[in-house]
Structure formats: structure tokens, C-alpha cells
């Protein structure tokens, strides 16, 4: 029997780093963003259905994410259409991962865990967090997006206080060592829960 732990948090909160800590501790980790990348690659399951609706967004057999973003920014209905294509494919990818792995604890790294309803499929949820100033600094220090883009992404995400309130575990990512200690504590608690299940 395996235990499914949903891992979430908002942009710049340290979710990817925390997922890596779970992997280092021996958990099998599924990454929602990586799944979408696979679906958009040449031969990926999302390429043909997206090409059928938005041929200009596919070239050389893959989905061009920058063209897709541009289409979405001009017409909000494009996002709905893409979500309707991609969401079931991501769900299928997640289920295939569940069937394929043998580790006892599976961690599902899903930024929009609550927003998409995926939390309902988890045995427990861990939410990473850090204060808003650190979050903003981390994102803008990457140099990959403007302040305006950061605010747009934040607006689409459920407020972190709400995510924390709905989570079984909270992991503060102020330092790597602190995060690592909390990951260990979470895993010890899950092991106890599994023994008494």
C-alpha cells in the first residue's frame, strides 16, 4: 500500500526544492509541470488536439508555449480550451505514475493542487510557505519575469493562507536546513500513519 502526499504552495515558495528533498529521502515524486512539458513535446499526447484547435501554436511536432501564452493573453477562452485538453491528460499521466512506482510514499508536486481538485485524490497535503517579501524577492531575483507577470500569476493562485488552512502539513522554506528537518518530520508522521492504517 502506498501513501499519496500532495505537495503545493504558491510561486517562489520553495516547492521544487522541497520536492527534491522528498526525493532525496526516498519518495517517488511526480511533477505536474514536468508532465505538461512531456505532453507538449514532439509526440506528446497534447500536440494533436492542440494543433486541431490552434495550429499556429504547434510547429515541428511540438507545442510552442510562448505562442500559446500569447494566444491566451489575447483571448481568455483559449485558456479554457487548453485546460479542457490538458487536464484529463495530466490526470492520466498522474495515474500511470501511481501504477508504475513501487515506493511506499508518493509525492505529487502540483502548484494548483486545490484549484484543480487534485487534493481530493491525496491521502494528505503538505503546503510550503515563506513570507511575502522573501517570496517576491526569490521570484524577481530569477530574472525570468517582471513584477507585473508575478502579480498576474499570484492573482490566479489561491491565497497561501487558505492553502495552509486546508493542508495537513506546513513546511516553511526560509532555509534549506529548516525545510529538510520539516520534511523528515512529515515523513516520520506518514510512516506512523501507515503503520496504524
pLDDT tens digits, one per residue of 32-71: 999 999 999 999 999 999 999 999 999 888 999 999 989 9
Claim to verify: residue 43 and residue 137 sit in the same structural domain: no
pLDDT tier, 181 (very low <50, low <70, confident <90, very high otherwise)? very high
Q: Which CATH number is 109's domain given?
A: 3.40.50.300
**pTM of the predicted model as reported, rounded to 2 decimal places:** 0.91
Work out whether the CA dihedral 94, 95, 100, 101 comes out positive or negative: positive
Average pLDDT over residues 118-140: 95
Cβ atoms < 10 Å from Cβ of 10: 23
Q: What is the pLDDT of residue 120?
A: 96
Claim to verify: residue 55 and residue 113 sit in the same structural domain: no
Asked if residue 82 has pLDDT above 90, the reply is yes
Claim to verify: residue 125 and residue 159 sit in the same structural domain: yes
Claim to verify: residue 82 and residue 152 sit in the same structural domain: no
What is the extent of the structural domain holding 130?
Answer: 1-27+105-192
Asked if residue 27 has pLDDT above 80, the reply is yes
Q: What is the pLDDT of residue 155?
A: 86
Claim to verify: residue 134 and residue 48 sit in the same structural domain: no
Q: How many distinct structural domains can be found in the chain?
A: 2
Enumerate residues 6+ apart whose C-beta is below 8 A from 78.
54, 68, 71, 72
> First vs last Cα of the chain: how many Å apart?
10
Amino acid at each position: 500500500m502506498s501513501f499519496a502526499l500532495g505537495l503545493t504552495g504558491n510561486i517562489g515558495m520553495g516547492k521544487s526544492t522541497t520536492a527534491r528533498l522528498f526525493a532525496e529521502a526516498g519518495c517517488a515524486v511526480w511533477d505536474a509541470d514536468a508532465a505538461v512539458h512531456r505532453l507538449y513535446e514532439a509526440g506528446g499526447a497534447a500536440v494533436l488536439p492542440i494543433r486541431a484547435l490552434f495550429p499556429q501554436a504547434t510547429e515541428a511536432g511540438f507545442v510552442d508555449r510562448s505562442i500559446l501564452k500569447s494566444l491566451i493573453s489575447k483571448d481568455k477562452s483559449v485558456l479554457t480550451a487548453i485546460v479542457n485538453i490538458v487536464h484529463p491528460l495530466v490526470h492520466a499521466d498522474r495515474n500511470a505514475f501511481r501504477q508504475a512506482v513501487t515506493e511506499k510514499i508518493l509525492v505529487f508536486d502540483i502548484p494548483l493542487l486545490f484549484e484543480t481538485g487534485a487534493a481530493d485524490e491525496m491521502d494528505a497535503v503538505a503546503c510550503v510557505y515563506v513570507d511575502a517579501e522573501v517570496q517576491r524577492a526569490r521570484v524577481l531575483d530569477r530574472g525570468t519575469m517582471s513584477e507585473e507577470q508575478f502579480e498576474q500569476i499570484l492573482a490566479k493562485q489561491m491565497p497561501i493562507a487558505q492553502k495552509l488552512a486546508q493542508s495537513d502539513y506546513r513546511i516553511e522554506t526560509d532555509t534549506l536546513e529548516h525545510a529538510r528537518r520539516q520534511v523528515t518530520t512529515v515523513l516520520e508522521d506518514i510512516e506512523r500513519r501507515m503503520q496504524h492504517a
